[in-house]
């Protein structure tokens, strides 16, 4: 079982999670992060660090985010195939991040 980034990350892209990941399994898209399920070791360190509560264990994904499992796997595989490196350092969130946080009630 791996952890999954849901679209709650979209338009926020906080990177607090990458700092605590011991295996560097996060990859960066334009508007959000994804987790490579083949690299994730289920340590759960990232889940608590996400300011928009976008990260869930696969088995705990709410029904509304079930498609996130396949999205993370597909996008991580695509990025790996393109030679992308995992994101390992914190970056500034997107300019829309605080608005996204408010929209989510956080």
CA pair distance 44, 78, nearest whole angstrom = 24
pLDDT of residue 52: 98
6 neighbors 55 (Cβ within 8 angstroms): yes
- Domains of the chain in sequence order: 3-90 (3.30.70.20)
Please check the confidence at residue 87 and state whether its pLDDT lies above 90: yes
Q: What is the mean pLDDT of residues 73-95?
A: 97
> What pLDDT, in 10s, does the model give residues 10-63?
999 999 999 999 999 999 999 999 999 999 999 999 999 999 999 999 999 999
91 neighbors 15 (Cβ within 8 angstroms): yes
pLDDT of residue 1: 82
Q: How far is CA 104 from CA 3, 12, 46, 49, 56, in A?
A: 20, 11, 19, 16, 16
Maximal C-alpha separation, the chain: 36
pLDDT of residue 66: 96
């Amino acid at each position: 079982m791996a952890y999954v980034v849901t679209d709650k990350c979209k338009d926020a892209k906080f990177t607090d999670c990458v700092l605590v990941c011991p295996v560097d399994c996060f990859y960066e898209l334009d508007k959000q992060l994804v987790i490579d399920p083949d690299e994730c070791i289920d340590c759960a360190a990232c889940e608590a660090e996400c300011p928009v509560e976008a990260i869930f264990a696969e088995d705990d994904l709410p029904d509304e985010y079930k498609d996130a499992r396949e999205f993370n796997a597909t996008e991580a595989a695509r990025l790996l195939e393109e030679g992308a490196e995992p994101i390992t350092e914190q970056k500034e969130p997107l300019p829309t991040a605080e608005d996204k946080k408010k929209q989510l009630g956080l």
